[in-house]
A and B are shown apart, each in its own frame.
Chain A
């Protein structure tokens, strides 16, 4: 178990820089999720920590040791891959034991650790099977088992759940979280799925185009997103963005509607309101022309446009609700639920 420090980390392929000066302190036992759209550099970052990609500049420390030049095998890490990457010609037992055998650990010790991991992951009945005889979820567990038996300082997960079906994914998500809490191993988990990120991580690192947009707890990211990118990425359905002008605490929307409590900003801003923070109020200032209602049971999603404009909006209302297309409904933002962002840079403006 160890802390991880990323200092001024840069990765470039030739002249193209794909990761720009990434900084991060990860403390011992923490579960960090790196999240972002595909191509944002999150896998590259993970592979750099694993030692599968070289570091262009900056340092990576695991514990107190700078590991930039160390081989993956010498970094005391274990990695779970998206495709499981099990050795196809070895049984489940051999798959888990192979890394230990290479490290010349005694036979008894290997057997003990493999059995222990098999018990934790409920893999005991499958120990003698080959990977191709297992289902996706079982293969994923074997891949986890291979990581656990090594007893490493750091777990690295590279989108481990994206090949599983939706139900299994939810179940495995919980299992991974429980397992990590039980073992207390520092973990870095890469995903593009924001729900996975929110539920798993102690802290989230949101990457976009190779830049760290924000690094904080899920609730921080949800409540106080640092940029429009984070605001739009975290939370589902995504936040509504409305261009507006602010003066003296009053925001004026594109269609002339006026909202109070817009904070200290001045001039052109982007106003963000989460779909779940709009409360129905016939006299409310935010008027939406309904186009479609999605009934999800627990809540209803109302898709439409801000009245008189072309700005798409989504509103989430608890319970059942129906509305014909074309009706106009009024909403009022909940208290303190307005987010203001600089219109050009997209940076958050604190109220």
Chain B
């Protein structure tokens, strides 16, 4: 290996910088976590202190559990996020494949049209969306949210994935065609595994805004049985009094699933699976 590259000083500095960045990034999460286990007084007296025998309290978690159906909110958030991601990835990848693989009239225009969605925030259309949902009777169902988030995620997904799919070797697809694979098999068995890192990127990009969104749940599905976690947590934030214990506890619990999903997808991000496909 190159001498300059294995220089221990460089290694130490590099790791130092990365560790520092990690600490800064994780600090807010850490503060939320420790404070969620403290009494209300302790939170305000010493926000950065670790909970000790005196200040330790699970009152926040107890409130969260008692108040409202938190597991249902959890479940709703999970269903909406996972279903939206599934549809974004499925339809996004299919559209991207069609745009990158087939030459047809209006291919270019179609690509531009689909990419346009990246530039126009979907919230501009909230009123129209609400009217549409009312007309179709989807208000206060999880489907309303899933459909909106799928629409919101598709432009970026198509944009990123079509770029990656263009890089999948033509010879590989042709080899599949000669082997007798149908276009669907080529798409699912050859192309998708090769663009897995890109799919993971798209998934991570889409997942966090969906999980954290307050706007659409508030407008389209505010009913008790369709509340998402973010919307559910709002009951603790009042205009005059905020139950910080409960808010922090709810947030701590909300971090967990998104963290798990992220770990699943990010493993795919790291893997460079294409090596060995072609020279």
Interface: A163 (CB within 8 A): yes
* 9-residue interface stretch from A16-24, A82-90, A109-117, A204-212: A82-90
**Distance of A67 from chain B, by nearest CB (Å):** 13
**Distance of B166 from chain A, by nearest CB (Å):** 16
Of A72, A130, A131, A146, most buried by chain B (CB within 10 Å of CB) is A72
Output the nearest chain B residue to A73 by Cβ-Cβ distance.
B180
Chain B interface size, as a band, is 20 to 34
A85 touches B276 (CB 8 A): no
Contacts of A86 in B (CB 8 A): 175, 276-277
Interface: A103 (CB within 8 A): yes
Interface: A29 (CB within 8 A): no
Of B175, B180, B279, most buried by chain A (CB within 10 Å of CB) is B175
Point out the residue from B179, B274, B279 that lies within 8 Å of A84, measured CB to CB. Answer: B279
Point out the residue from A85, A88, A139 that lies within 8 Å of B171, measured CB to CB. Answer: A85
Chain B positions near chain A (C-beta within 8 angstroms): 169, 171-172, 174-181, 185, 190, 193-194, 273-279
State the total of A-B contacts with C-beta under 8 angstroms. Answer: 83
CB neighbors of B among A64-86 (8 A):
71-73, 77-79, 81-86
Q: List 6 A-B contacts (CB under 8 A).
A: A50-B178, A82-B171, A84-B279, A87-B172, A103-B180, A150-B179
Contacts of A83 in B (CB 8 A): 169, 171-172, 278-279
Output the nearest chain A residue to B190 by Cβ-Cβ distance.
A87
**Distance of B175 from chain A, by nearest CB (Å):** 4
**Distance of B98 from chain A, by nearest CB (Å):** 18
A102 touches B179 (CB 8 A): yes
A102 touches B278 (CB 8 A): no
B279 touches A85 (CB 8 A): no
B172 touches A72 (CB 8 A): no
Contacts of B179 in A (CB 8 A): 73, 98-99, 102, 146, 150
A85 touches B174 (CB 8 A): yes
| 8 shortest interchain CB distances as A-B pairs | A132-B276, A99-B179, A73-B180, A88-B277, A85-B171, A83-B278, A85-B175, A81-B171
Of B171, B190, B273, B275, most buried by chain A (CB within 10 Å of CB) is B171
Chain A interface size, as a band, is 20 to 34
State in angstroms the CA–CA spacing of A132 and B276 once bound together. Answer: 4
B194 touches A88 (CB 8 A): yes
Of A50, A51, A89, A150, most buried by chain B (CB within 10 Å of CB) is A89
B174 touches A136 (CB 8 A): no
CB neighbors of B among A92-143 (8 A):
98-99, 102-103, 130-134, 136, 139
Contact code string A146-171 (vs B, CB < 8 Å = 1, else 0): 10001000000010000100000000
A163 touches B175 (CB 8 A): no
Q: A88 and B175 in contact (CB under 8 A), knowing A83-B169, A102-B181, A102-B185? A: no
**Distance of B165 from chain A, by nearest CB (Å):** 15
A89 touches B175 (CB 8 A): no
Of B172, B177, B179, B194, most buried by chain A (CB within 10 Å of CB) is B179
A88 touches B178 (CB 8 A): no
B172 touches A85 (CB 8 A): yes
State in angstroms the CA–CA spacing of A72 and B181 once bound together. Answer: 10
